[in-house]
Amino acid sequence: MPEYEKVNILMVDDQPAKLLSYEVILSGLGENLIKANSGREALEHLLKTDIAIVLMDVSMPELDGFELAEIIHQHPRYQQTAIIFISAVYLTDSDQIKGYAHGAVDYISVPIIPELLRAKVSVFADLYRKTRQLARLNAELEQRVAERTADLQSVNEELTALNTELTRSNRELDDFAYIASHDLREPLRGIHNYSHFLMEDYGDKLDAEATEQLQTIVRLSQRMEALIDSLLHYSRIDRVEPIAVEVNLTDVMQDAMEMLKPRIDADNVQVRCPPVLPTVRGNSAQLTEVIVNLCSNAIKYNDKAEKWVEIGVCDVVVPGEPPVFFVRDNGIGIAPEYNDKIFEIFRRLHPQDKFGGGIGVGLTVVKKIIEHHGGKVWVESVVGNGTTFYFTLGEENTV
């Protein structure tokens, strides 16, 4: 309802002269004025029209003002309808008026002061308009909330379907990688072995160039074997079940350090790690692999004379969030545009002859293991200053 829409005012009195006088008093308000000569006629109007205010004489023959008010307020449709009694008797302390406590009820005594009547009617008319407006806005809001909820639900359903599809196709891709890499190994072994035989049996008959080419074949087939092995390893990660065993990360750390000892000693790397790390749930071999991969990269991609690696748990604990572990180094750093790319399979940022080479699978494996444990891994780095890899484990893997 627009703000200035007129409201209906029903004036009820058995004396036409009085009705006329009310009309004169109220006509200046610009509302719709409806006249009724009796309680019954008033009810007929009420049934047909939306009435904002009923102005009525308390004492009328047949159906008096109080009886009519009783009927009006019993009906839910008229709950917003205000009633103004016109009475020759002083009604303020009357028990009768208290009976209408639920509806907007007022009275005006005779002789009527026109300004007072106009003011009372005007207040009730505005109240009615505002209540209606509020109800309409509420309904609109409810409608919008309902629409939004429905939208969200359908987006949610789509997302769930997409997720299921993604999981399925990821699984298929893993299966494919597993089968392909498995089957590719045999012919590759053949190429490698036959190249060797050729060198051994016919080495003296081959010139230097042919020998070098054969050596390249052997080298490339070895590299390809390494790639296939890592692909096979990668596709096996989430086949490992269950991962709900308690694992002491202090033990994991010791195992990892033992494996890395030759590298640590050779490069004289300072390793910093708290004496005790938390216990988590997971697969200890896989978690050891995460630490080994991150630490060996920390040592490998480091050009400083005094290299260090720090392993630990972040001090800042966000309530309800799992602990955040980190592996930090003072190495070469990673440019921000590669922060996501380094986790892609076979993605390397350096030529094969730099930083000891590699096949670009280490971080992809780390990511898959962490995700297999319900967690996340991410990197923060400053080129030239060092890199920190952070990771969490899922809530179910946090003890």
Beta carbon of residue 222, minimum distance to ligand ADP (angstroms, whole number): 15
Nearer to ligand ADP, 277 or 342 (CB): 342
What are the strands, taking DSSP E only, across 32-190?
A: 32-36, 53-57, 82-87, 105-109
Beta carbon of residue 227, minimum distance to ligand ADP (angstroms, whole number): 11
Read out DSSP for 35-61?
EESSHHHHHHHHHHS--SEEEEES--S
Check residue 69 and report its DSSP letter. H
Task: Supply 177's token pair.
Answer: 């990688």
Beta carbon of residue 175, minimum distance to ligand ADP (angstroms, whole number): 23
Beta carbon of residue 293, minimum distance to ligand ADP (angstroms, whole number): 6
- Could you tell me if 378 and 365 are in contact, meaning their C-beta atoms sit under 8 angstroms apart? no
Beta carbon of residue 335, minimum distance to ligand ADP (angstroms, whole number): 9
* R_g of the chain computed on alpha carbons: 43
Measured CA to CA, the distance from residue 395 to residue 320 in angstroms comes to: 9
Beta carbon of residue 306, minimum distance to ligand ADP (angstroms, whole number): 16
Beta carbon of residue 331, minimum distance to ligand ADP (angstroms, whole number): 5
121 C-beta neighbours (distance < 10 Å), count:
26
Closest residue by Cα to residue 277 from 309, 252, 246, 245 = 252
Nearer to ligand ADP, 177 or 349 (CB): 349
Contact residues toward ligand ADP (CB under 6 A) are 293, 297-298, 301, 329, 331-332, 334, 342, 347-350, 358-364, 387
Measured CA to CA, the distance from residue 172 to residue 367 in angstroms comes to: 19
Nearer to ligand ADP, 157 or 344 (CB): 344
* Cβ neighbours of residue 324 closer than 8 Å, sequence gap 6 or more: 313, 314, 390, 391, 392
Nearer to ligand ADP, 263 or 347 (CB): 347
Paired residues of 105 in beta bridges:
83
Nearer to ligand ADP, 17 or 266 (CB): 266
Nearer to ligand ADP, 52 or 334 (CB): 334
Nearer to ligand ADP, 128 or 234 (CB): 234
- Could you tell me if 84 and 61 are in contact, meaning their C-beta atoms sit under 8 angstroms apart? no
